[in-house]
Amino acid sequence: MKTTSPAIPNDLSTLRSLLLAAQEENRTLAEENKKLRSDVSLLQEEVQFLKHRMFGRKTERLSEAEKKQLLLFNEAEDTVTAQGEGEGEEEEVEVSSHTRRRKRGRKALPANLPRVEVVNDVPEEEKRCGCGAQKVRIGEETSERLDIVPARIQVIREIRPKYACRACEGVEDEGPTVVIAPARPHLIPKGIASEGLLAYVMTAKYADAIPFYRQSKQFERIGVDLSRTTLCHWALQAAEGCRPVIELLSQEVRAGPVVRCDETTVQVLQEPGRTAQTKSYMWVFLGGPLGRPAVEYQYHRTREGRVAREYLRGYEGCVQTDGYTGYDFLDHQPGVTHAGCWAHVRRKFVEAAKVASAPKGKTPTTAAHWAVARIRKLYAIERRAQAQGLTGSALVRERQEHARPVLEEFKAWLDKKATQVTPKSLLGKAVHYARAQWSRLVVYVDHGFLTPDNNLAENAIRPFVVGGKNWLFSATPAGAWASAALYSLIETAKANGLEPYRYLKHLFERVPYARTTEDYRALLPQHLPEDLQAQLVPGGGL
């Protein structure tokens, strides 16, 4: 079928109008096409990011190829490898003509462990020489193997003898004729659990992430019937008995120059007015005087900033957090200096760098790699200062001399890049996040007791996250509170170099005897006498 083209008008003004309309339509289509290409690019980036999250490496460490990409932006002194990244430590050994590196051998077994000697001797007939003479012992060869004796459970019988006067039997007398020693106070009165058993059970769950139902099965294998319900009740009673110590721990956290905050989700099944699927939160506050760290967990139904606001009411000092908006009030709270977290900034640029370098056959986007290289330089400065043992004002001078120029360069780059990147792209989000947090990110330079990031708080809350993967949820708000209290005691003990079981056993045995505030304060890990702390460290003796 033959088609006919539309008639072209002969009128000049009409032709001009049609031409202008066609140009406007083309311009509109071009803009729509440009926006469509941008949306497609963002979707492709999002798909690549999700694929990386699901199937890629979880670590924030870059691959070897990505590290080579960073070398394009690094000076020679910035290419040092972070301590601990290798598979094993190396030591330098001086040889006559050169220096050689060798792997260290197996570590010696701890000298404080008891030794059981097993002698593997030769038969008596082999101790006589072929010439008829008796062979003499000229030495020995020894080797050591680590052994373990499985947990041995026992029953402690507390015996209180009674004494009576035979001469006063049947005689009226105002004084007692029978005497008996008072019963020893226990953390759980009239319970069957000793303080040692309580410490063992709580350490297994809150330090080693072994849920109560698994512990119940372990006890069953050695012939003791302890149900999960019983162990749960013990946790509630142990935490309640230590409540005065926990309350003093809150004061300790706020007694130092900096408080670090973080939070994570927790599921509580039987919470009034809420479904079992509703998210609750476990908050962590890390602080305390320098050299005497204190860690407190708190369970709350919400993630709202009022939780941190209430906890930090009246506090004066530095508060270090991530970029969660619930902490924004700290920017305006009198007496508080709000510090940010470079780890979160780095994480966003690392994500952008990984996605940028993923497509095959394409050159990686170098902007994200440049930002990661600058952040690595900041951490290289910190590692160098730590190796030199710099603290306080000396550390501040080091940062001001070396870190501040890097920060100024980085800020200028961020301001320029903000006008060039797509806000919704991973790189755009990283750039805008860093700019929004900038006033907090530079705070650490002027305070020697601060670190560039909030990793100490994240590390403090990690044991709860790891434990939650094993026991999944708390049954009741009371159980969540008890978990928070026991985590607080254990993590504070660990932060002060104490072995959790030894410390809990000491605490549980002495709490029943405490009467005054000072009695309870003396039970905090950071206030124990030095000689007692030496007994409660890993490998110490009681």
For 184, the 3-state DSSP assignment is coil
**pLDDT given at position 477:** 87
Quick one: which of 86, 25, 56, 62 has its CA closest to 371?
62
257 in Cβ contact with 290 (< 8 Å): yes
* Alpha carbons 488 and 524: distance in angstroms, whole number: 11
Please tell me the least confidently modeled range out of 126-130, 233-237, 281-285, 413-417: 126-130
Q: What are phi and psi of 198, to 5 degrees?
A: -60, -45
Q: Which residues pair with 300 in a beta bridge?
A: 281
Strand partners, 279: 267
CA–CA gap between residue 226 and residue 215 (Å, rounded): 9
Q: Cβ(421)–Cβ(431) under 8 Å?
A: yes
Assign 77 a pLDDT band (cuts: 50, 70, 90): very low
Q: What is the mean pLDDT of residues 405-414?
A: 96
Check residues 86 and 65 and name the one with the higher pLDDT.
Answer: 65
Higher pLDDT, 119 or 173: 119
Question: What confidence score (pLDDT) does residue 212 get?
Answer: 92
Q: Residue 463: what pLDDT?
A: 74
Q: C-alpha 421: how far from its chain's center?
A: 34
Q: What is the pLDDT of residues 468-508, one digit of tens each?
A: 555 556 778 888 899 999 999 999 999 999 999 999 999 99
User: Is residue 380 scored above 90 in pLDDT?
Assistant: yes
Burial (CB count within 10 angstroms: exposed 0-12, middle 13-18, buried 19+), residue 364: middle
Looking at the predicted structure, is the pLDDT value of residue 537 above 90? Answer: no
Instruction: Quote the pLDDT of residue 170.
Output: 67
- Look at residue 434 and tell me whether its pLDDT is greater than 90: yes
The answer to whether residue 93 scores a pLDDT higher than 50 is no
Among the listed ranges 14-18, 144-148, 150-154, which one has the minimum average pLDDT value?
14-18
Q: Which uninterrupted H or E stretch holds 146? A: none
Is residue 355 helix, strand or coil?
Answer: helix
Q: How many CB atoms lie within 10 A of CB 164?
A: 12
- Identify the pLDDT of residue 341: 95
